[in-house]
Amino acid sequence: MTALTRRLLLALAALLLTAAPVAAGGPAPLILVSIDGFRADYIGRGITPTLAALAEEGAWATEGMRPSFPSNTLPNHYTLVTGLRPDHHGITDNTLFDAARPGVKFSMGARDQVEDRFWWDGGEPVWVTAERAGMKTATTFWPGSEAAVRGVRPTTWFPYDEALSAFDRVDRLLGWLDLPEAERPGFMTLYFEAVDTQGHRFGPDSPELNQALRGVDAALARLVAGLKARGLYDRINLVVVADHGMAGTSPERVVFVDDITPLDSFTVVTMGWTASLIPRTPQAEAALVGKHPHFECWRKGEMPARLGYGTHPRIPPIICLSQTGWVVTTRARYAERPMTRVGGSHGADPHDPAMRALFIARGPGLRPGSRLPVFDNVSVYPLVMTLLGLTAQPNDGDPAATAAALR
Ligand code: AMP
Ligand code: ZN
Ligand code: ZN
């Protein structure tokens, strides 16, 4: 072999190696990361260099992504992986009741309910379609991944465990990438709650929140380093999102529903910046519906169209929405847990910029340096399905809203 032929062969081998997808012949694997409560503008604080680099190199919604109503955790996580509005997928808030299960309450802490497909079957998450198409999937937490939705679970999944450190979550994912090719997942998720937790406890402008941002960025740095060490950084699509933003609360901004109608005239289903209530009398309903100082209530069928909410049978008859920053509660609840200092919350109008969530995507399927204007989070799903080479289920997203991110 001449020196020239050898050089040519080496160059060809190098080209083939860099161009080869991780799973031969298939689309690049995709890692979907959620940083709960990462408000879009946090990235501008200059303390999340890993995220900044991903945004710089990849696709980035510079002004953030609009959550779906209600801007709470479970509804929006399920929207991100189904492309359906909460009104359509049925995880209509963090707490649910259903007429078919009288007296049963679905909430984050109700493990047996969280693992019951009954609550989640209204949507088909990415991993279900992927598994059906023969792709292995693995989740270190994602709402819905603990249930056999429509009869299918991720190949690898774990019950939510807040005690598992962010680094351990990352290391577990890196371990999946070291599996023999036939067992390696094509779709993986990661979830981090610390930014949301500290946002609630200390508020979005607190040093504690900033420390949580640094912690999550360090976990992402570990992920990126692990991908680079395996030669996978340019061969894996990384999509980093949040479910909603965060805004400040104060003991000076509290109003009480029972100042409008007596406490025993309604039942509280959810209480927060989005509250849902069941009036016990026509008088209570009449008193609740309408504008009040710092919040407004509607009958579920009469909500403003921009909120895209109110048709699902699980939604209680009255929905109230606070002015961002104002806590709506009852005097009894407040007496039990009074606010003593500033903090933070979400659940406000998705059209409020404070509710906007992070969106960054980088990898071989994504256009370097592309910038997306604010878009609705229902359009993450069609993007993810395109990147995975899977057929999207019917959804509320608009592929055109995220198409500019594609290479
Ligand atoms: P939120 O009440 O809307 O602020 O919800 C945020 C909380 O959701 C986080 O603090 C997490 O502890 C919790 N969470 C996230 N994913 C899950 C899950 N799969 N199961 C139970 N709780 C969860
Ligand atoms: Zn959340
Ligand atoms: Zn939260």
**Residue with tokens 């980088």, as numbered in its chain:** 362
**What is d(CA 325, CA 281) in angstroms, rounded to the nearest whole number?**
30
Catalytic residue list contains 73:
yes
Share of the chain above pLDDT 90, in %: 94
Per-residue pLDDT tens over the stretch 99-120: 999 999 999 999 999 999 999 9
Q: Is the pLDDT of residue 351 over 70?
A: yes
Q: CB within 5 A of ion ligand 2: which residues?
A: 36-37, 73, 196, 243
Per-residue pLDDT tens over the stretch 120-162: 999 999 999 999 999 999 999 999 999 999 999 999 999 999 9
Per-residue pLDDT tens over the stretch 359-392: 999 999 999 999 999 999 999 999 999 999 999 9
Q: How far is the CA of 48 from the centre of ligand 3 (A)?
A: 20
Query: Which pLDDT does position 25 carry in this prediction?
Result: 63
Encode 231-245: b = buried (16+ Cβ within 10 Å), e = exposed.
ebbebbbbbbbbbbb
DSSP strands (E only) in 282-384: 290-292, 295-299, 318-322, 327-329, 343-345, 359-362, 375-376
Per-residue pLDDT tens over the stretch 313-335: 999 999 999 999 999 999 999 99
295-299 vs 290-292, strand pairing mode = antiparallel
Q: Does the Cβ of 131 fall within 6 Å of ligand 1?
A: no
295-299 vs 318-322, strand pairing mode = antiparallel
Paired with 343 in beta bridges are 249
| Residues 22-247+351-405, CATH architecture | 3-Layer(aba) Sandwich (3.40)
206 neighbors 47 (Cβ within 8 angstroms): no
Three-class SS state of 189: strand
Paired with 275 in beta bridges are 320
Q: Which of 33, 39, 73 to mutate to test the pocket of ligand 1 (most atoms within 8 A of CB)?
A: 73
Q: Is the pLDDT of residue 68 over 70?
A: yes
CA contacts within 13 A on the Cβ side of 309: 31
Its pTM stands at 0.94
**What is d(CA 283, CA 296) in angstroms, rounded to the nearest whole number?**
17
Atom of ligand 1 nearest to the CA of 114: 20
Which ligand is nearest to the Cα of residue 357, counting in written order?
2
Q: Does the Cβ of 73 fall within 6 Å of ligand 1?
A: yes
Q: How far is the CA of 404 from the centre of ligand 2 (A)?
A: 27
Q: Is the pLDDT of residue 22 over 80?
A: no
Domain boundaries in the chain? Answer: 22-247+351-405, 251-341
Per-residue pLDDT tens over the stretch 166-205: 999 999 999 999 999 999 999 999 999 999 999 999 999 9
Q: Does the Cβ of 332 fall within 6 Å of ligand 1?
A: no
Per-residue pLDDT tens over the stretch 259-280: 999 999 999 999 999 999 999 9
Q: Please tell me the residue having the least CA distance from ligand 1 atom 1.
A: 73
Q: How far is the CA of 397 from the centre of ligand 1 (A)?
A: 24
393 neighbors 129 (Cβ within 8 angstroms): yes
**What is d(CA 70, CA 68) in angstroms, rounded to the nearest whole number?**
6
Query: Which pLDDT does position 26 carry in this prediction?
Result: 79
Topology agreement, domain 22-247+351-405 and domain 251-341? no
Q: How far is the CA of 196 from the centre of ligand 2 (A)?
A: 6
CA distances from 134 to 127, 146, 267, 380 (A): 10, 19, 46, 22
Q: How far is the CA of 197 from the centre of ligand 1 (A)?
A: 9
Query: Which pLDDT does position 24 carry in this prediction?
Result: 52
Exactly one of 73, 249, 274, 402 is catalytic; name it: 73
Q: Is the pLDDT of residue 12 over 60?
A: no
Q: Does the Cβ of 36 fall within 6 Å of ligand 1?
A: yes
Which ligand is nearest to the Cα of residue 70, counting in written order?
1
- Which helix H or strand E contains 247, and what residues bound it? strand 247-249
**What is d(CA 114, CA 77) in angstroms, rounded to the nearest whole number?**
13
Q: CB within 5 A of ion ligand 3: which residues?
A: 196
| Residues 251-341, CATH architecture | 2-Layer Sandwich (3.30)
Query: Which pLDDT does position 35 carry in this prediction?
Result: 99
Query: Which pair of tokens denotes residue 244?
Result: 């909603």
Q: Does the Cβ of 72 fall within 6 Å of ligand 1?
A: yes
